[in-house]
Amino acid sequence: MDLSNLAHKRLLLIGLLALAITSISAATMFSMALLTDNATVDDNTFTTGTIDISTTPATALFNVSGMMPGDSVYGQLNVANSGTGQLRYAMTSSSTDDSQHLADQVTLEIRQKAAGTCASDFTGTVVMPSTALSGAAFGDPATGSDTGDRVLNTSASENLCFKASLPGSTDDSYQGATTTTTFTFSAEQTANN
């Protein structure tokens, strides 16, 4: 066995290994020597809009006592969009009755009126034709555009005239009857809906 040849091969192997390590180290240093930079865009703010319906007056549109068959009473209500987005709204009602069911006998009609008082001039666009107070409603509070829904732009409002009547045909069974009704106005966004 030739020892010099074996030593020569070992030296050659060590030299190749040293060259490989040097090449890897140089490649690593070159790959780590990159110039970089970053840019940021600060203060991105997102704010949601609001849907806000309000009514004036907010309570007691009617407070009627001593109503007789053939009488009609009037109430004027302003409905306003106090939010930041266009809205559509609907109205529903619920009545608390005594055993005589007066809410089934009293009729209610609603009209939209640009100006003036309702009692002296009950004219304007019919919003809800005359119907029993117990079923008074227009539009639909369900999501989406429905027949009868009213639309109000931002900062807009409209006047609604309410006419409640006790028909002349009302008989003695309604004497002393009382009903209390709540009108609920439900609003939703029109954008993307």
> What's the token pair of residue 154?
């931002």
- Its pTM stands at 0.78
Per-residue pLDDT tens digits of the chain, which is 193 residues long: 566 666 667 766 676 776 667 666 655 555 567 999 999 999 999 999 999 999 999 888 999 999 999 999 999 999 999 999 999 999 999 999 878 999 999 999 999 998 888 988 899 999 999 999 999 999 999 999 999 999 999 999 999 999 999 999 999 999 999 999 999 999 999 999 9
For strand 72-81 and strand 53-56, is the pairing parallel, antiparallel, or unpaired?
antiparallel
Taking the C-alpha atoms of residue 152 and residue 6, their distance in angstroms, rounded to an integer, is: 98
List the domains of the chain with CATH numbers. 53-169+179-189 (2.60.40)
Q: What angle do CA 157, 162, 166 make, to 5 degrees?
A: 175
Q: Which residues, other chains included, contact 8 with Cβ-Cβ below 8 Å and sequence gap of 6+?
A: none
Taking the C-alpha atoms of residue 81 and residue 89, their distance in angstroms, rounded to an integer, is: 10
Sequence-distant contacts of 135-141: CB under 8 A, at least 24 apart? 135/93, 136/91, 136/92, 136/93, 136/108, 136/110, 136/181, 136/183, 137/90, 137/91, 137/92, 137/93, 138/90, 138/91, 138/110, 139/88, 139/89, 139/90, 139/91, 140/90, 141/90, 141/92, 141/184, 141/186
19 phi, psi to nearest 5 deg: -65, -40
